[in-house]
Amino acid sequence: MLLLARYVLPVNAPHIEDGAVLVRDREIVEVGARADLLRAYPDEKVIDYGLAALMPGFIDLHTHLEYAVFRGVVDDLPYTRWKMEVQRREALLGDQDWVDSAALGAVEAIRSGITTVADITSSGTSVAAVQSAGLRGVLYRELSTMDTSAIDSVLSSALSDMASWEKQADPSRITIGISPHGPYTCHPWLFKALADAVGTADTHVALHLAGSRDEYDFVKYGSSPLGQDFRTQSGWADEVWMPTGVSPVRYVYQWGVLDLPNVMGVHCVHVDPDDIDVLKACDVAVAYCPRCNAKLGMGIAPIGDFQTHELRFGLGTDSPASTSTIDFFEEMRVGLLIQRGIRGERGFYSAKTFVRLATIEGARALKLDHLIGSLEPGKRADIIAVDLSQSYQTPTQDPYGALVHTCHQEDVLMTMVDGRILFDRGTFHTVDPEPMRARVEEMRLKVRG
């Protein structure tokens, strides 16, 4: 199959005008000029996307696909109150609701040009959703408890689920990991037990870390709405918590989790240079979620310091419950503009930098850059085509600038994973979104209660 477009963005090499990508089976075979590849492969099937950009699919470092039905339900609350309100409404959904909501989230990811998701789930519904949709993913089994008597059973249940999920998933596309939710929902002994269980295995581990000021105050000083109201709502009011006197990063570090071989911290907003030194020393990757952090008043991640310390980091859309959409163009655009606004000329990021964060840097964060994240021969054919022909995009002078500053998820023409087209010019090939959409209003009536 020969894919053609006005622009081809390999990401790890200069962009090609009037370019082409040759795909065979699951892999990229060759990337080059349109005329050269048409001449070299005259019998190959050709798909021409015209005034568009062919590029690697987006790698979403932090998602909760199963929360798709919560979009717009809790829009105007700061983080802790938002968290408590979403938690309250979770109990209103049944098992099939979570299944359908995760499937709806997978549909939107495909429509947005996301080809790989790093999804955290406690229900496991994301496994079937990602598997049937044809996406690539690292799917983390979430666990949490502040109850010391429940630690063994909570961890045992999580490990059992991981083994079960691995049997359901295609190992060529899907990896199962584990996610201790975060410092304000996990007793330190749970972190220690998890660290001991994972040991030296290269298991993917993710945790929400240093995301909000309330979390920081709870961990360091022992008092915040997370340490009082949220703990009471979660049934942990009687569990003793003493202030640690250190930041969330240094607190978690004491219990061995950050020393594990393959860890990603989600958010990492309230971190200082010493915290970032710890993350670097432990080779912890970071998922930067600019829209969620801004919308919930969590703060702004210091990605300039991440770069200075050479941390592996990329972008995540987080949950539709927080950001409402799984639109990766919006994530790039908002992330770029926020950073330009706070850093000014001393750290003026380019659009190309954020395209890299959305692709190859996200792959590096997951340690999958040998397989995905750029258009190179031998890598998996995870490719998207993005329309650049609309009135708000022409004339197009810089494809990177057009992608970040003018595009949105409706501009995605095609999404391909492993050489298989999942979506092409309005048609989904692996899933039927209509049954899910038919149930949306029924589910939304429940969560509005």
Give the architecture-level CATH label for domain 58-365. Answer: Alpha-Beta Barrel (3.20)
Maximum separation of any 2 CA atoms in the chain, in Å: 73
Do 384 and 39 form a contact (C-beta atoms < 8 A)?
no
**268-283: pLDDT as tens digits:** 999 999 999 999 999 9
Amino acid 447: pLDDT = 83
Q: Is the pLDDT of residue 306 over 70?
A: yes
pLDDT 10s digits, 185-224: 999 999 999 999 999 999 999 999 999 999 999 999 988 8
- Separation of alpha carbons 6 and 386, rounded Å: 11
Residue 299 three-state SS: coil
Q: Which two tokens stand for residue 42?
A: 């005259």
Residue 438: pLDDT over 80 = no
Tell me the three state secondary structure of residue 322: helix
Which residues share a beta bridge with 287? 266, 314
Contacts with 163 (C-beta within 8 Å, 6 or more apart), sequence order: none
> What confidence tens digit (pLDDT) does each residue in 312-335 have?
999 999 999 999 999 999 999 999
Confidence (pLDDT) at 392: 87
Q: Which residue has the higher pLDDT, 298 or 236?
A: 298
CA 17 to chain centre: 30
Per-residue pLDDT band for 394 (boundaries 50, 70, 90) equals confident
Cβ-based neighbour number of residue 342 at 10 Å: 11
Rounded Cα–Cα distance for residues 428 and 408 (Å): 18
Beta-ladder partners of 143: 180
pLDDT category of residue 366 using cuts at 50, 70 and 90: very high
Band of residue 226 on the pLDDT scale cut at 50, 70, 90: confident
H/E segment holding residue 20: strand 16-24
Residue 277 corresponds to which amino acid? D
Say which amino acid occupies 134.
Answer: G
Q: CA 185 to CA 248: how far, in whole Å?
A: 12
Q: Please tell me the predicted confidence (pLDDT) of residue 164.
A: 97
Q: Is 81 exposed, middle or buried (0-12, 13-18, 19+ CB in 10 A)?
A: middle
What is the per-residue pLDDT across 59-115, written as a single tens digit (0 to 9) for each?
A: 999 999 999 999 988 999 999 999 999 999 998 999 999 999 999 999 999 999 999
Ranges in the chain annotated CATH 3.20.20.140: 58-365
Average pLDDT over residues 396-407: 94
Which token pair is 107?
């549909």
Rounded Cα gap, residues 315 and 363, in angstroms: 10
**pLDDT at position 449, please?**
64
Tell me the mean pLDDT in the region 349-365: 98
* 427 band by pLDDT with thresholds 50, 70 and 90: very high
Q: Which residue has the higher pLDDT, 346 or 387?
A: 387
Token pair recorded at residue 287? 């998922």
Coil, helix or strand for 424? strand
- C-alpha pair distances (Å), 341 with each of 174, 286, 297, 335, 346: 37, 21, 16, 10, 11
Confirm if 390 and 401 have CB atoms less than 8 A apart: no
pLDDT at residue 393, as a whole number = 83
Give me the residues paired with residue 387 across strands: 52
Q: Is the pLDDT of residue 7 over 80?
A: yes
Mean pLDDT of 402-416: 97
pLDDT, residue 34, reads 98
CA dihedral 163, 58, 277, 270 (to 10 degrees): -90
Cα–Cα distance, 315 to 372 (Å, whole number): 15
Handedness of CA 379, 385, 386, 388 (dihedral sign): positive
Mean of pLDDT over the chain: 95
CATH topology of domain 2-56+380-429: Urease, subunit C; domain 1 (2.30.40)
Looking at the chain, the domain(s) classified CATH 2.30.40.10 span: 2-56+380-429
Position of tokens 């023409």?
413
Closest C-alpha among 26, 28, 25, 44 to residue 36: 44
Q: Is the model's pLDDT at 300 over the cut of 90? A: yes
How far apart (Å, rounded) are the C-alpha atoms in residues 268 and 285? Answer: 10
pLDDT in tens, 16-67: 999 999 999 999 999 999 999 999 999 999 999 999 999 999 999 999 999 9
pLDDT the model gives residue 238:
82
Query: What is the per-residue pLDDT for 151?
Result: 97
- Tokens standing for 136? 């690539």
In Å, what is the CA distance from 16 to each residue of 1, 31, 54, 101, 109? 18, 9, 10, 39, 26
